Amino acid sequence: MAFDIHMNIVLEEAEMLENGSTKIRYGKLVVRGDNILMISP
């Protein structure tokens, strides 16, 4: 949904997956850039 120069990211309809299936649905989520290890589609 959005990001800034520090790689802080706002995600919409975020989910946690476990073994390929949805475990937890978060909805809108803000991730601080210093906590990001990898981004994958």
pLDDT reading at 3 higher than 90: no
Q: How far apart are CA 41 and CA 34, in angstroms?
A: 19
For residue 34, report the phi and psi dihedrals to the nearest 5 degrees: -75, -5
Give first-to-last CA distance, the chain, whole Å: 13
pLDDT in tens, 5-41: 888 999 899 999 999 899 999 989 998 888 888 877 7
Confidence (pLDDT) at 18:
92
**Domains annotated on the chain, with CATH:** 2-35 (2.30.30.100)
Q: Closest by alpha carbon to 12, among 28, 26, 31?
A: 28
pLDDT reading at 2 higher than 90: no
In the chain, the largest separation of any two C-alpha atoms, in whole Å, equals: 33
